[in-house]
Amino acid sequence: MTFRTHHCGALRKTEIGTKVILSGWIHRRRDHGGLIFIDLRDKFGLTQIVFDPKYSKTAHQEAENLRSEWVIRIEGEVIPRAEGMKNPKMATGEIEIAVHSLKVLSKAKTPPFSISDDEIQVNEELRLKYRYLDIRRGDILKKLEVRHRAMQATRQFLSANEFIEVNTPLLAKSTPEGSRDYLVPSRLSPGQFYALPQSPQLFKQILMVAGMDRYFQIAPCLRDEDLRANRQPEFTQIDIEMSFGEPQDLFPIIEELMKAIFKTCLGVDVPTPFRQMTYDACMEQYGTDKPDLRFGMPLVNLSDIAERSTFAVFKEQLASGGIVKGLCVKQGQDISRKGIDGYTEFVGQLGVRGLAWMKRDGDGVLSSNIVKFFSTELQNELIQKMGIEKGDLIFMIADSKEKTNQALDHLRRKIARDRNLNSSKHYEFLWVTDFPLFQWNSDEKRIESEHHPFVQPHKEDLHMLLTEPLKVRSSSYDLVLNGHETASGSQRIHDGELQQKIFEVLKLTPDQLKERFGFFVEALSYGTPPHLGIGLGFDRIIMVLTETENIRDVIAFPKSSKASDLMTEAPSSVDPTQLEELKISIDTKKTVWT
């Protein structure tokens, strides 16, 4: 049986008079007395078909029983639509199919939500439970098509640039650094566990030791971490590693890769080279290491001016080691007092005690309830330092450095959303470099790696490695796109002695070192080339390409916010026989493994 000669989005008026076969789902059904109209749908589009007794009494009679989402096959003739019945919103809107024969291929129950009306808002948990129906509605399907095109563009570009695609293991060794591993018990080695990869980090570095020179992989990665709108326990990474290079060699390659993806998927020409900014500069100017550069409003440190004012709140915070910073909202004079109070409440939820403000009116004069605490000279300094023009509004926060940066970062992004400054059609890339090499774990009272233990320290800071490690910068970099961290990478350590010093700072004992990284350290001892790499968050890139803030929209079968698969009902209990084979028992009273 031939199921179709054309898909449901293909036919045009040039095919009028052609005999065709179509198969698809019943999208909408309309009974107009003696005529039955159906919009037939497949992945490619819609075609209107008409059951008219003058073409086939049998088909017309059979069509009376058809319902939405049934799958049917029809044979008929392409005819022009009647005058006044053309639909310019449909690609096939000038024609319809006069049905001569009908065959029902599959019946359907009434769906739990409408497939034909994509304007209806459906609870996300219901969408995830019936994911196959959610995909059928069309929006998710379109996003998955963009995902496919981005994958193809990635493979073509990297292959053309001498990168070799290699698949690394999914069952590997647990190396507890960073996020939690998903563990897989071994049946053949009772009491032993594999770990699912958080990334192919060690394997791709070993490939450089092996002489691969340039590697890539569109890699599945898994992390047992708390979820957000832009996180999933399973995600996909464009994983890249190359030998005999430094960041200035890698950056242009990644920039050209992003150009290829955006050109293929959106037809957009991304300008290069991308901007670069150090981590310290980002934190100072934007309060975050992933700033959205589609709009202005940089943060300005006003501590020197606040110190010379008589405003007690500012002076108290400065005396206790805090800072005063502000941002300028261009032409923000239209923000009402009620709006200012709303922003004050917003930053209060982030733990700061208040939000100071000033407006500059049409005469160039600053006004607010705290202006009186600033002399005319200080007001002029404030205007000059923040670039306050007539009609502008400034907000100021005084608190600890961490709280002030965090609150102003969130406030800046909220103001941009409220004032529609963050256009989804505008793409701003930024390389953020020179992250700290280490961070202090206050819970465990120890130093730990900011990224992982194999990141090359900044050459200028090597002298502080053993004496002031928390001041050491790393040769690491992130690629930020419209406020999303879309990639992270670093120059790797290829010198065994330096690697050993890093382990000393992390206070890894010889036994811990051998247990966690012994195989890797052994590999490094056989002649390791200088190498570096990066992992690009593929799902986050697709989020930007498809203009969604929810990562679940760009994954075919995502997990819920509680990391469960509502469609398959995973995770779930397993047959006791499986646990016996694994030599595992469960204490059902405590719900713990033993």
The last residue of a domain, from among 387, 405, 422: 422
The answer, yes or no, to whether the previous bond of 88 is cis (omega within 30 of 0) is no
Q: Are residues 418 and 299 in the same domain?
A: yes
The last residue of a domain, from among 402, 422, 442: 422
Q: Are residues 450 and 415 in the same domain?
A: no
Ranges of residues in the chain whose predicted pLDDT is under 50: 594
Q: Reduced to 3 states, what is the DSSP secondary structure of residue 443?
A: coil
Instruction: Select from 72, 224, 240 the least CA-distant residue to 157.
Output: 240
Q: Are residues 230 and 302 in the same domain?
A: no
567 domain-assigned: yes
Q: Are residues 262 and 344 in the same domain?
A: no
Give the CATH number of the domain where residue 337 resides. Answer: 3.30.1360.30
Q: Are residues 410 and 436 in the same domain?
A: no
321 domain-assigned: yes
| Structural domains of the chain, count | 3
Q: Are residues 184 and 80 in the same domain?
A: no
What pLDDT does 177 receive? 59
Stated pTM of the model: 0.91
Q: Are residues 459 and 372 in the same domain?
A: no
What pLDDT does 125 receive? 94
62 domain-assigned: yes
Q: Are residues 65 and 174 in the same domain?
A: no
Contact assessment for residue 26 and residue 69, using Cβ atoms and an 8 Å cutoff: yes
116 domain-assigned: no
117 domain-assigned: no
For β-strands 356-360 and 193-195, DSSP reports them as unpaired
The last residue of a domain, from among 382, 400, 422: 422
Q: Reduced to 3 states, what is the DSSP secondary structure of residue 396?
A: strand
Give the CATH number of the domain where residue 481 resides. Answer: 3.30.930.10
166 domain-assigned: yes
Q: Are residues 224 and 312 in the same domain?
A: no
Name every residue whose Cβ is closer than 8 Å to that of residue 367 and which is 6 or more positions away in sequence: 358, 359, 360, 361
Residue 409 phi, psi dihedral angles, 5° rounding = -60, -50
134 domain-assigned: no
Q: In the 8-state DSSP scheme, what is residue 262?
A: H
The Cβ of residue 39 has, within 10 Å, a number of other Cβ atoms equal to 22
Helices 401-418 and 337-348 sit at what angle, rounded to 10 degrees? 140
Instruction: Select from 159, 150, 149, 189 the least CA-distant residue to 173.
Output: 189
Residue 132 corresponds to which amino acid? Y
Give the CATH number of the domain where residue 43 resides. Answer: 2.40.50.140
Q: Are residues 399 and 485 in the same domain?
A: no
What pLDDT does 176 receive? 64
- Token pair recorded at residue 398: 């005084």
Give the chain's length. Answer: 594
Instruction: Select from 57, 139, 140, 51 the least CA-distant residue to 98.
Output: 51
Q: Are residues 302 and 220 in the same domain?
A: no
438 domain-assigned: yes
Task: Tell me how far apart the alpha carbons of residues 587 and 594 are, in angstroms, rounded to a whole number.
Answer: 7
Q: Are residues 435 and 566 in the same domain?
A: yes
Residue 76 sits in which domain range? 13-106
- Token pair recorded at residue 304: 């020197």
